[in-house]
Chain A
């Protein structure tokens, strides 16, 4: 038999553990004036950020701790969980649609930076490329119901572009400086090179649907104009419209010509980057971040970017781009002011030039152009053509985008026609809006 005295002693430890756990869950972080915590997902910038943090500590005495969480999906979930638990760091990035960004702002997790940006005659704001900054801006009467303002700090700029292997063009007897300007020219070149050299005409990470959606929207804007494109999103033009079917049929054309890399519909972007850098394909569609990737995988790769091959002369070409990675200041952080100071510092010219050198990304601020590698410099001229779902007055419903992505994959696999896919997309759109 157990003695009562011994039992008495066993109760407190459980309660003690529960109390510790309870207090651990509810305790608030104490304000710290000499340490900032930054969460990010950018593996390629890990070392550069560490060096910048050391530099900042030397200059100001404030320690900056960069915490990397990878892959981006995991990072995204971590940020959402932290927001719910009121445990976000001083500075963090938000991945995802503008709608998600707006939700963070509505919940008070993101500091409105407008007043800081407008200080000294908008000194900080004017440093940025306007095309880059507008991704983190909420305009007057925006669809998300957010107070107009600037809510983030872009630390680089990215854009999606076509890219071609110059050596393969040369080997195939084509002029390496004369890239294809129209879709027909593009298809011709890809076909010729495939026949002559036996390499794939085009490779892309189309297993990741967003790259398909980006290309489809770029061709749609070029074919029907931005106005009609946006009216489709609003629901005033159906996806079964002739122009949309035409856009989907471009993907069918690519398939029929047999220029696509094998397994392209299930390929990840990483696999596509690998294939392009190993010269297994002549053309690709990728972001400006690819410069860093290609450099690491094949430093001798001779390539260049070129804008979207046009499908019409009626409307201008628009390409996806804008802020690549942005940082937001935690609106509930006790170190808000210090966080803003640090972001001002990291977006100043010296630090941006360092980031360009270390990570081969396009800068978010003006004035660093001369330090860019030639392949990136060529992209600056395209900044005026940039567009992005985050700057459209309204974005398509994510379920509709899902059906577009899947539908395009089915066209590429040859199991659906453009007309069938258009009908499926329209049906989904109507079902959601019913």
Chain B
């Protein structure tokens, strides 16, 4: 009995360092954020319990909902334009097996670059003088399509431009995941489908899409989570543009910068709950689709 307890103790000691680190960097911050959301706290002086007041302030703030709208707008473009582009490129590269490593590297360069660098770089490309170098407009002019010259970061286009820059930066992630998913589908399934008389479109809709559904779900969930939490690139590119591109994390950052930690924690919590809910809904929808196609048993 004693030796069994001792052995358990020894075994436990092996996971102790990991548990210790996990508790400090994950469990404690999570509960602390929760506690902070019920406090008026500047992180220096004694906190004051304010009940649900922070939640009332955030949920009734038009700026908060406007930032959620901006986040949702960019997410919409990321889900559609970015992921469709990534999917098409992944399909193309899946066939050109010889060059797949080269393409992987090329498309993966952007996501691994720092968001701040991308933001500052694109500011130079898109913004007119004196802020930027107006590179895109000069290029359009040289190409003889001067009628396309725009004020890309002007108030009527800044939201869409920001969304497209985000898509441009992020499509590499989706591309790599989708390509890996495509390459995991056994070739025999396509051969069997072709023997049964399936054409290319039928192979795509009846074999590729259903079998890729878990990967597509993963990409969709990661896109939603990643885009709703996008921040650094937008900060560097537009700085919020008078609220036109202010996203939720930018609000949280601003409040933390002004030491309004209680409000920032509340916003973080609300955003977290929304994102977790959306993720669960996506997994549920994906399950239903896979069942419909017979990939999962009923």
Given contacts A18-B17, A200-B130, A263-B131, contact A96 B242 (CB under 8 A): no
Contact of A262 among B14, B128, B155, B260 (CB under 8 A): B128
Asked whether B241 lies within 8 Å of A271 as measured between CB atoms, the reply is no
Return 22 A-B CB contacts under 8 Å, by A number: A7-B10, A11-B10, A15-B13, A18-B17, A80-B259, A84-B43, A84-B44, A109-B44, A207-B240, A262-B128, A263-B127, A266-B127, A266-B242, A267-B130, A274-B130, A398-B258, A399-B57, A399-B260, A406-B242, A409-B240, A415-B155, A431-B61
Specify which of B62, B63, B130 is in contact with A280 (CB 8 Å cutoff): B130
Interface check A414, CB cutoff 8 A: yes
Does B10 lie within 8 Å of A275, measured CB to CB?
no
Contact of B226 with A by CB under 8 A: no
Q: List the B residue with the shortest CB-CB distance to A84.
A: B43
Distance to closest chain B CB from A28 (angstroms): 20
Query: Are the C-beta atoms of B259 and A96 separated by less than 8 Å?
Result: yes
Known interface pairs A18-B17, A100-B44. Does A265 touch B130 (Cβ–Cβ under 8 Å)?
no
Cβ of B254 within 8 Å of any chain A Cβ, yes or no, is yes
User: Which partner residue on chain B sits nearest A402 by CB separation?
Assistant: B254
Q: Which chain A positions have C-beta within 8 A of B14?
A: 10, 14
Within the complex, what minimum Cβ distance (angstroms) separates B77 from chain A? 20
Contact at B16–A262, with CB atoms within 8 Å?
Answer: no
Please report whether the interface of chain A is mostly helix, strand, loop or mixed according to DSSP.
helix
Interface size on A, residues (CB 8 A): 56
User: Quick check: B242 and A412 within 8 Å, CB to CB?
Assistant: yes
| Contact of B188 with A by CB under 8 A | no
A263 and B132 within 8 A (CB): yes
A409 and B241 contact, CB distance less than 8 A: yes
Q: Is the CB of A14 within 8 A of B16?
A: yes
For B45, give the chain A residue with the smallest CB separation: A103
A 405-428 contacts with B by CB, 8 A:
406, 409-410, 412-415, 424, 428
* Closest residue of A by beta carbon distance from B44: A103
A76 touches B130 (CB 8 A): no
Query: Which chain B positions have C-beta within 8 A of A20?
Result: none
Q: Secondary structure at chain B's binding surface: helix, strand, loop or mixed?
A: loop
* Interface positions of A from 45 to 83, Cβ below 8 Å from B: 73, 76-77, 80, 83
**Residues in chain B within 8 A of chain A (CB atoms):** 10, 13-14, 16-17, 20, 42-46, 57, 60-63, 127-132, 151, 153, 155, 238-244, 246, 254, 256-260, 263
**With A and B bound together, what is the CA distance between A280 and B131 in angstroms?**
11
The answer to the question of A17 belonging to the interface, with a C-beta cut-off of 8 Å to chain B, is yes
Cβ of B156 to closest chain A Cβ, rounded Å: 9
Residues on A with C-beta less than 8 A from B60 are: 431
Q: Which of A1-17 contact B (CB under 8 A)?
A: 7-8, 10-11, 14-15, 17
- Tell me how many residue pairs across A and B have CB atoms closer than 8 Å: 121
Partner of A266, one of B17, B131, B257: B131
| A262 CB contacts on chain B under 8 angstroms | 127-131, 151
A403, B63: Cβ atoms closer than 8 Å: yes
* A104 in the interface (beta carbon within 8 A): yes
Contact A18:B16 (CB < 8 A) given known A103-B44, A266-B153: yes
A426 to chain B, nearest CB (A): 13
**Residues B243 and A76 in contact, CB atoms below 8 Å apart:** no
Kindly state whether residue A23 has any CB partner on chain B within 8 Å: no
Q: Known A73-B257, A399-B260, A402-B254; judge A203-B13 contact (CB<8 A).
A: no
* A268 in the interface (beta carbon within 8 A): yes
Q: Closest approach, in angstroms, between the C-beta of B158 and any C-beta of chain A?
A: 8
Shortest distance between the CB of A395 and any CB in chain B (Å): 12
Given contacts A99-B259, A266-B241, A271-B131, 8 further A-B contacts (CB under 8 A): A8-B10, A14-B14, A14-B17, A84-B44, A102-B45, A278-B130, A413-B155, A413-B242
Residues from chain B with a CB closer than 8 A to the CB of A278 are: 130
**Complex contact A99–B241 (CB within 8 A):** no
The residue from A7, A11, A265 contacting B241, defined by CB atoms under 8 A apart: A265
Q: How far is the CB of B159 from chain A (nearest CB, A)?
A: 11
Interface centre among B46, B131, B240 (most CB of A within 10 A): B131
| CB-based contact B242/A265 at 8 Å | yes
> Which residues in A have their C-beta under 8 angstroms from that of B130?
200, 203, 261-263, 267, 271, 274-275, 278, 280-281
Q: Chain A residues near B153: list those with CB within 8 A.
A: 263, 266
B17 CB contacts on chain A under 8 angstroms: 14, 17-18
Q: Which of B10, B132, B151, B243 contacts A406 (CB 8 A)?
A: B243
Q: Shortest CB–CB separation between residue B286 and chain A, in angstroms?
A: 38
A261 to B128: give the CA distance in the assembly, Å. Answer: 10
A278 vs B242: C-alpha distance when bound (angstroms): 26
- Write out the residue numbers on chain A whose beta carbons fall within 8 Å of the beta carbon of B20: 18
Give the docked Cα–Cα distance between A107 and B10 (Å).
Answer: 43
Q: Which of A100, A104, A106, A280 has the most CB of B within 10 A?
A: A100
